[in-house]
Amino acid sequence: MSTASVISRSKQLAARAEKVIPGGVNSPVRALKSVGADPIYFERGDGPHLFDVDGNKYIDYVGSWGPMVLGHCHPRVLEAIEAALAHGTSYGAPCRQEVEMAELICQLIPSIEMVRMVNSGTEATMSAIRVARAFTKRDIILKFEGCYHGHGDSFLAKAGSGLATLGISSCPGVPEETTKLTITVPFNDLDAVKKAFKEHAKEIAAVILEPVVGNSGLILPKEGYLAGLREITSQNGALLIFDEVMTGFRVALNGAQGRFDIKPDLTTLGKIIGGGLPVGAYGGRREIMEMIAPKGSVYQAGTLSGNPLAMAAGLAQLKHLQQADSYVRLTNKTDLLAKGLTELAEKKGGMKVAHITGMITVFFTDKEVVDFESAKQCDTDKFAKVWRKLTDKGIYWPPSQFEAAFLSTVHSTKDIEETIKAFEESV
């Protein structure tokens, strides 16, 4: 693959975009600044592949940052969208599909007794902490360094994802009064959580976290860590919120909470439940969710919430994932890629590989990555060089050391073997 061919039309589009869009992109990581590249403009996706505007083909490990668990343009999903599209794009009123989606979510995730649809993961997390504060009559939220919960004001202190990629530790425009209501502690450190509760036990409304961190690269919880958080929050009258926007219906059919057998009070969802269309949701215990208007007095609304196209696409995807072998296949594909990359890491040194069903990260470091601080010790210059070489070889890997890569059920053994070979030639 020729880098020159990628630059030509993409560079023309980038020049036009910079005149009318801040930074030329609608989400910061897409600018590719941290990897020293120019934005790549894509034209279409098909299965595990993406094609840019110059016709170059890539094996895709971004997957629209998670929702493409069945690959691009899956026939079931497209059929569902087309059928819904024939009846209109939006009603601004209730529809059958949103009821079916709510019923299926409640069926698949036992901790969710009621669920409210929104339009993004950010909306879901913002709404979840609002109702948590109302339910507990407390104001402080405890979050973890490197966990990203969208761009709501309360979440932008020491967040991962794009902020980590761009080296932003906090965000101008967020009032200091807001940040004072957020306590941030290291992930995988129960003692830090206990200390925070010792100092603010009667003020902490909720603890929110990615149960498997995907926004500092992939970081798995230590054994007993999630159970410890459940115990601490229960003992202190605070709510436990799992942000499963990324892990929900990806690491298991019942999410990370099912995989690790932990029952949070509230859960936020997104990505996969929209089949690639904009979507979010938050749900949990009935007594908490019944505080939301119009049943209760906690206000939250959205004109496009429960959009029939997004609901139809998500339903088709979830129903397909209910097939008995879906997660076996996804796990096997992830394990195969992880095995090859781990063997490479052992041979080359300076690399660590973390993975779980459907997600993987190659950290350029000699040390185990257990939290955001250890993730920040990675060699980001090396990552950038490797990323550019991978792209030239037709591998579209997430353009940040601080983002997880995603697999789909349609990545083939050949795709994975090509990816491992590309890494061998690039490291």
User: Mean pLDDT by 10-residue block, N- to C-terminus, for the chain (427 residues)?
Assistant: 60 95 93 94 98 96 97 98 97 97 98 98 96 97 92 68 51 76 95 97 97 97 98 98 98 98 98 96 98 97 96 98 94 98 97 98 97 96 98 97 97 98 98
Distance CA 150, CA 152 (A): 6
**How much is the pLDDT for 211?**
98
**How much is the pLDDT for 165?**
47
Report CA torsion sign: 130, 27, 277, 408.
negative
| DSSP H/E element including 269 | strand 266-270
Any catalytic annotation for residue 381? no
**How much is the pLDDT for 158?**
56
**How much is the pLDDT for 425?**
98
**How much is the pLDDT for 51?**
98
**How much is the pLDDT for 163?**
52
**How much is the pLDDT for 5?**
47
- For residue 402, CA distances in Å to 35, 124, 256, 349, 375 come to 12, 22, 20, 19, 8
Any catalytic annotation for residue 148? yes
What does DSSP assign to residue 64? G
What does DSSP assign to residue 151? S
- List, edge to edge, every strand of the sheet that includes 49-52: 42-46, 49-52, 57-60, 395-396
**How much is the pLDDT for 324?**
83
Q: Is 47 helix (H, G, I), strand (E, B) or coil?
A: strand
**How much is the pLDDT for 121?**
95
Catalytic, out of 33, 61, 143, 148: 148
| Statement: the pTM of the whole predicted model exceeds 0.95 | no
**How much is the pLDDT for 170?**
61
Catalytic, out of 271, 333, 352, 376: 271
**How much is the pLDDT for 407?**
98
What residue ranges define each of the domains in the chain, with the CATH number in brackets? 3-61+324-426 (3.90.1150.10), 75-321 (3.40.640.10)
Any catalytic annotation for residue 61? no
Catalytic, out of 243, 265, 371, 415: 243
End-to-end Cα spacing for the chain: 18
Structure tokens at 373: 């601080």
Select from 296, 288, 293, 245 the least CA-distant residue to 266.
288
Dihedral angle, C-alpha 402, 408, 414, 417, nearest 10 °: 20
**How much is the pLDDT for 153?**
76
Question: Can you name the residues that pair with 117 across neighbouring β-strands?
Answer: 281
